[in-house]
Structure 1
Amino acid sequence: MASNNKYNHNTEDHIVEDNKKTRFGGIFIAIILILLIAAVAASGVFLGYW
């Protein structure tokens, strides 16, 4: 049976490729999330919620 794939690649289809841009993006997003969590925790301590 012939494939109906428009591009007919012999590789698997991936949403994101494992390259420098996606690694940098993932690390960047993780660092931003950690900073946001730390900021929320610090403001909670400063305002006396914890």
Structure 2
Amino acid sequence: MSIGVLLDVDPTLNQIADLPPEWEAERTEVGGDWQATGIATDNLRPNKTPDGNGGY
């Protein structure tokens, strides 16, 4: 699905289009207010995996 189609379906996605890297947005219901928060990046690094050794 293209971003254009997504925006046609939910134009409020434009409200979060300028989020900085490492941020996320969520809402409790369709049409509700977006809540943006920064996310922790330690868990996203390739060497930070569930077993601590680069594997799963």
TM-score range, shorter chain: under 0.3
The structure with the greater share of residues assigned to helix is 1
Q: Which has the higher contact order (CA 8 A, sep 6+)?
A: 2
Q: More strand per residue: 1 or 2? A: 2
Q: Which has the larger radius of gyration?
A: 1
Structure 2 length-normalised TM = 0.22
TM-score normalised to structure 1 length: 0.23
